[in-house]
Structure 1
């Protein structure tokens, strides 16, 4: 697909993008990378990024038997999320939890497909562009005590969970990712591959250091989130890969990025609780939305000052 924006397609004056997903989106570092990029390189455009990621959530409605609580399902909150945020675009990232860490099953795969298609359809019905990201990969080499926790195929269904995942769960996620990328215009306005990009990143890092840890096997660390942000920038906004990589590298240890991330998480927690969800755990430190907006505004002056310190171009 052609990017929505780029050198020959300038950004609009305002754009509101909502992100739905599981704990990887709940962490939101990849969204903060996007926010930091646009603040620095496109200050004339008002691009608002709202993360509504909820830990443990699925699009399929499935949950493993011994999960501490029934996994939340995005469909339980979708109508309110769309009504409250009024987005121009919605980016969704599901799949990691949807296979519920079991071997591949056509029944579970069908539940994922049906749930994601229903999600994308409802986003479009609300008048927003529907953008599907692939699930990220499962990295068993980074799983703490992986040798003790990983299970072979063929065990009773009740044996598998996020605590004791199927050893080749990556094969399940690869199938899910390939299906997402096969979606045509009739189902999604765009698809974004993060699965293969993250696998390539992990392979390159592990070639240099065989002990490299990409995260905890399920959740990528910040470098993985940077790769996700680069995929979104390239696919949706036409940002050259080298430029996106250079920007992500410049954010390592940056006081500017830390402030952007702080503001992002403040507003994400407030929005998530404002919309509501069925995860029994409340977002840590979440303020009412009105109070969060006041605190976020207090961070703005310093963020703008640090963004303006850069000599980077203000165009994509």
Structure 2
């Protein structure tokens, strides 16, 4: 099925907002496997490299698969889920960010019906993370989880109310109600966090639009958004954090395999993300193949030179 072209409004930015960007920012992304996969981060990275190479942003992906803000784990998970608080202090100390984007929630309800005890544990985890980020001198940006999508999963694995155990392998059929509740609470944190980015509603709206055209549309695997969803996430971040919208979908989104620029950015993201994650450390028993951070940073500079050669030629 041919993808529809997404039309957006022209680029707009106020002078005060522009001045906040020209000095560059060091932005760290913390989160679970959705952040770990990182396509939305690569999309944001590619936008700035292609359209605003004069703004020296550094985007560091520190997402870890299976991680939570709550420290909770479902009974049949193959290992105790990592918790951001096992590594947050070191992550902040080593990465020295200006901004930190915190994206948790999908795993924190442990795929079960709503529980006030679990929710309060999640609240405490998020609020503690915001406080530690502020204490480090960085700006705390909270990002909601994406919606859970049972229609993109095998219906045979979805469990009704009243079961003893639920998990990511056999989630509660109405788990999206739980995620909606978590997202709604995060949206209230404007006076606590420096910014709240609601990706839940834009992703839900995108899914509903696609299903009007194709009722069998799959938004991903039910937990993780597909590449379309990652672009919705990237657009939402560009809008909320940088006050940028686009006139049309960039070519590197429509044809990523044919974009040398985007492939180099993916290469740089994977190289540096893996190195940073292992340098900071984490409790997920699955460790990434990674170069020592110092060597990875040098190789990243070489990739950056190739990227800049492409952007200069395109101007």
TM-score by length of 1: 0.91
In the alignment, structure 1 residue 172 sits paired with structure 2 residue 182: no
Matched, 1:206 2:211: yes
Is the Cα–Cα contact under 8 Å of residues 256 and 263 in structure 2 kept in the other structure?
A: no
Does residue 86 of structure 1 match 2:92? no
8 Å contact 1:206–1:212 — kept in the other structure? yes
Task: Please give the residue correspondences for 1:290-305 in structure 2 after superposition, counting only pairs within 5 Å.
Answer: 290-305=294-309
Match of 2:160 in 1: 152
Matched, 1:113 2:123: yes
Give distance in 2, aligned partners of 1:257 and 1:267: 15
Alignment coverage as a number of residue pairs: 300
Aligned counterpart, 1:99: 109
SS at structure 1 position matched to 2:223: coil
Partner secondary structure for residue 147 of structure 2: coil
Match of 1:276 among 275, 278, 281: 281
1:59 deviates by 0.2
Q: Is the 8 A contact 1:37 1:247 kept in 2?
A: no
Give SS of 2:233's match. Answer: helix
Shift of 1:14: 2.2
Task: Tell me the CA shift for residue 36 of structure 1.
Answer: 0.6
TM-score by length of 2: 0.91
CA distance in 2, matches of 1:244, 1:28: 22
- Of the three residues 29, 42, 47, the one matched with 2:39 is 29
Shift of 1:231: 0.4
**8 Å contact 2:103–2:142 — kept in the other structure?**
yes
CA contact (8 A) 2:33 2:67 kept: yes
Query: Helix, strand or coil for the counterpart of 2:314?
Result: coil
CA RMSD of aligned residues (A): 1.6
The match for 2:195 is 190
- Equivalent residue number for residue 260 of structure 2: 255
CA distance in 2, matches of 1:268, 1:107: 34
- Structure 1 residue 245: deviation in Å? 4.2
Matched residue, 2:6: none
Q: Which moved more, 1:18-27 or 1:6-15?
A: 6-15
Give the deviation of 1:142 after TM superposition: 1.1
Indicate conservation of the 8 Å contact 1:230/1:244, yes or no. no
